């Protein structure tokens, strides 16, 4: 599988500035209040944009990447909160799949988290995942693979983390990935999610996020840079 034009998304400036500083931008364009940067990153053609926070923002930006940016695959990079006790701040999680933790149509017989007529878990692309894992290994960065849950809430209240871990078996939680996954799934576009842990989704999560989010986001961006180098070399 060769990828020659990759879409890269993040929710925050901190999640993308590292990549923007390393890419050679050749053009920019705007749609729906979003700015898209096209150019080369480690020899690979990329289209990069800040999706902003939340599911609707990320879905809109992903669709624009696919329609106007004509990307062949999409990677979402950034930070997330840990849902399991042994995930350390700064550790990387590659999504094996993405799901919603704030969808509830159980009254009509659907499992918690499932949007009607769609998969409960949107499986990520095996090739992209393997390349992300190899990029992590080359950089000597600790990583693991598992489900990532998404919803339009920053998880920090007591008991939320335990409830999400129990209900969904997810390793991490954030606010965009499942919407990106659903958009790519409906368009038949390969996708994956890479998250660096910025907090433990607990009572001090806001403080941890402020203290560690930039460092964690840069670590994820380092992996994306190496990932692009690998794709460029094999494409």
Neighbours of 52 (CB within 10 A): 19
Of 131, 199, 202, 208, which residue is the catalytic one?
199
Annotated catalytic, 70?
no
Strands (DSSP E) found in the chain: 5-10, 24-31, 34-41, 44-50, 73-82, 92-100, 122-123, 143-150, 172-174, 191-199
3-state secondary structure 60-82: HHHHHHHHCCCCCEEEEEEEEEE
Q: Are 184 and 134 in contact (CB under 8 A)?
A: no
Of 15, 52, 131, 202, which residue is the catalytic one?
15
Distance of CA 130 to the CA centre of its chain: 15
* Closest of 218, 18, 8, 224 to residue 134, by C-alpha: 224
Annotated catalytic, 152?
no
List, by residue number, the catalytic residues: 15, 199
């Amino acid at each position: 599988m060769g990828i020659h034009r990759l879409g890269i998304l993040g929710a925050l400036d901190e999640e993308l500035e590292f990549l923007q500083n390393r890419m050679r931008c050749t053009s920019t364009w705007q749609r729906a209040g979003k700015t898209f940067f096209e150019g080369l990153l480690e020899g690979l053609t990329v289209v990069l944009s800040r999706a902003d926070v939340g599911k609707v923002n990320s879905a809109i930006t992903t669709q624009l990447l696919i329609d106007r940016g004509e990307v062949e695959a999409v990677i979402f990079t950034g930070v997330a909160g840990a849902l399991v006790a042994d995930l350390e701040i700064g550790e990387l999680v590659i999504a094996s799949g993405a799901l919603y933790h704030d969808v509830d149509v159980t009254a009509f017989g659907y499992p918690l988290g499932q949007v009607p007529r769609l998969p409960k878990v949107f499986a990520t692309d095996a090739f992209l995942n393997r390349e992300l894992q190899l990029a992590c290994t080359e950089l000597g960065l600790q990583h693991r693979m598992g489900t990532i849950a998404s919803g339009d809430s920053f998880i920090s209240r007591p008991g939320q983390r335990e409830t999400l871990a129990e209900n969904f078996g997810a390793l991490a939680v954030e606010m965009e990935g499942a919407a990106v996954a659903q958009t790519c799934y409906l368009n038949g576009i390969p996708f994956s999610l890479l998250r660096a842990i910025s907090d433990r989704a607990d009572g001090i999560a806001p403080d941890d996020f402020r203290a560690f989010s930039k460092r964690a986001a840069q670590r994820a961006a380092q992996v994306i840079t190496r990932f692009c180098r690998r794709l460029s070399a094999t494409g």
